C-alpha cells in the first residue's frame, strides 16, 4: 500500500549498510544499448555477483519474462526470481530504499526516478517501468511504501545510520533532478524520508561518472565517522583535484554526532578505458555514450557491505590487491570477496549500483 505520511512522521529511519541485513535484490541486464554482445557477458558478471552474495544472505533477482530461463541457467537454484517490468538493471537506483523503526518493522521508499536527468540529460527513455519498480518490489515483500515527492537515486547518498548523510552537490543539485528545489529544500526532504539530521555535501563525484556524480562511486561509509575515499596521486588525472576537494570537506566537517571523520584513501583502478571490441558490441543510443577510448568510471568504493562481508569489484590486476589490503586493514573483522566486474563497469556502474539491501528486522 502507498502511504500518504512520511517515514519521519511514522518513526522510520534508514539503517546503515554495515548494519544487519536480511536480503539483497538485483535486476537482470539485457539492454542492448548498454550491455555489449546481447548482454551475455554482463549477465555472467551479474550472476557471479548474485551467487556470491547468496552465500551470505538470500538473493532475489528481477527479470523480464523473456529472460527468465536464461537467468535460471546462470543463477544458483536457491536464488529467487521475480518477473517484473523494468528498463535497466540498476537496482540501487530503481529499487526501494528500506527504512525500519524501533520495533523492527520495515517500509519502503519509492523515489522518483528519471534515468539520471530526465529530458535534460537522462540516459534513456522511457524510464516509467524503472520509476514504478520500487513499489512493485515492496508489494512483493508485503510491505507498505512511501512515494517520495522528489527525484533521488539510491546511489546518490550514503548514510551512517546515526544521522549523517553524504552526497555530492554535482548530483543532487544537477538541473535534471529537482531544479525547483533549493539545497535547503533537498536537505529537509532527506531528513523527512531517511531520518538524517546532517548532510555533508561533497562538491563532485568521480570523474566522468554519467550519473552526474553519484557519491557511491567516490566514497563509502564503512562505520560511523569512518569513510573510504577514491584517490589518486597522479597530478595529471582529473580525479586528483576532485578527490582533494572531497578530502578538504571531509576533514573540515563533523558528523551528526559531532565526530571528526576518519578518511581512508582507496586508489582508483587504471585509469580504465572502453576498448574497441567492447564498444563494437553495444547498440547505438541517444543518451548513453559508449565510444571506444572513453574513460570508464572505475572505482573500488563501489562495493557492497553485507553482514561482515565486503563484495569488492576487481578491475585492475595492478591495484586490486592494494584495494583489498586497504579494506582488510580498515575492516579486520570482515571477509573481503573480490569479484571481476569489468562487464558491469562497461554499463556505467558497479556492485553497489546493481544491488539493494533489505535490512534485517522483526515483523514487516
Check if 353 is active-site. yes
Residue with cell 535484490: 25
- Alpha carbon 347 to its chain centroid, in Å, reads 13
Task: Give the other-Cβ count within 10 Å of 332's Cβ.
Answer: 7
Distance CA 262, CA 227 (A): 6
Provide the grid cell at 295: 574513460
Q: What is the DSSP letter of 109?
A: E
Q: Which of 214, 157, 211 is nearest to 189 (CA)?
A: 157
Contact criterion met (CB below 8 Å) for 135 and 147:
yes
Distance CA 86, CA 82 (A): 11
Distance CA 33, CA 41 (A): 14
- Active-site choice (75, 242, 353, 354): 353
- Which residues touch 203 (CB under 8 Å, ≥6 apart)? 168, 169, 170, 242, 245, 246, 249
Q: Which of 141, 182, 192, 133 is nearest to 24 (CA)?
A: 141
Provide the grid cell at 281: 558490441
Distance CA 193, CA 195 (A): 6
| Active site residues per annotation | 353
Amino acid at each position: 500500500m502507498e502511504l500518504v505520511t512520511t517515514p519521519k512522521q511514522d518513526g522510520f529511519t534508514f539503517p546503515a549498510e554495515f548494519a544487519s541485513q536480511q536480503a539483497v535484490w538485483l535486476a537482470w541486464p539485457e539492454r542492448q544499448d548498454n550491455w555489449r554482445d546481447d548482454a551475455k557477458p554482463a549477465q555472467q558478471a551479474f550472476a557471479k555477483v548474485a551467487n556470491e552474495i547468496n552465500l551470505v544472505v538470500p538473493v532475489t533477482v528481477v527479470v523480464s519474462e523473456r529472460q527468465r530461463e536464461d537467468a535460471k541457467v546462470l543463477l544458483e537454484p536457491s536464488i529467487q526470481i521475480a518477473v517484473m517490468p523494468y528498463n535497466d538493471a540498476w537496482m540501487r537506483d530503481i529499487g526501494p530504499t528500506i527504512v525500519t523503526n524501533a520495533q523492527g518493522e520495515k517500509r519502503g521508499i519509492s523515489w522518483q526516478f528519471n534515468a539520471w536527468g530526465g529530458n535534460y540529460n537522462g540516459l534513456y527513455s522511457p524510464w516509467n517501468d524503472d520509476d514504478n519498480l520500487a513499489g512493485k518490489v515492496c508489494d512483493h515483500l508485503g510491505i507498505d511504501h512511501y512515494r517520495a515527492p522528489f527525484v533521488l537515486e539510491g546511489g546518490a547518498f550514503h548514510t551512517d545510520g546515526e544521522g549523517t548523510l553524504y552526497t555530492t552537490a554535482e548530483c543532487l543539485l544537477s538541473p535534471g533532478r529537482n531544479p525547483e528545489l533549493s539545497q535547503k529544500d533537498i536537505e529537509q526532504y532527506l531528513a523527512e524520508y531517511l531520518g538524517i539530521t546532517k548532510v555533508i555535501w561533497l562538491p563532485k563525484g568521480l570523474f566522468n561518472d554519467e550519473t552526474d556524480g553519484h557519491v557511491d562511486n567516490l566514497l563509502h561509509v564503512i562505520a560511523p565517522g569512518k569513510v573510504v575515499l577514491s584517490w589518486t596521486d597522479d597530478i595529471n588525472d582529473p580525479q586528483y583535484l576532485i578527490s582533494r576537494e572531497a578530502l578538504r570537506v571531509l576533514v573540515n566537517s563533523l558528523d551528526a554526532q559531532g565526530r571528526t571523520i576518519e578518511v581512508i584513501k582507496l586508489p582508483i583502478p587504471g585509469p580504465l578505458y572502453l576498448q574497441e571490441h567492447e564498444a563494437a558490441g553495444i547498440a547505438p543510443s541517444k543518451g548513453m555514450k559508449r565510444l571506444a577510448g572513453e574513460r570508464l568510471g572505475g572505482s573500488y568504493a563501489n562495493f557492497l557491505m553485507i553482514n561482515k562481508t565486503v563484495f569488492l569489484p576487481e578491475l585492475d590486476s595492478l591495484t586490486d590487491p592494494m584495494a583489498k589490503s586497504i579494506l582488510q586493514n580498515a575492516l579486520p573483522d570482515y571477509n573481503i570477496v573480490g569479484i571481476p566486474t569489468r562487464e558491469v563497469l562497461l554499463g556505467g556502474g558497479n556492485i553497489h549500483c546493481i544491488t539493494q539491501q533489505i535490512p534485517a528486522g522483526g515483523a514487516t
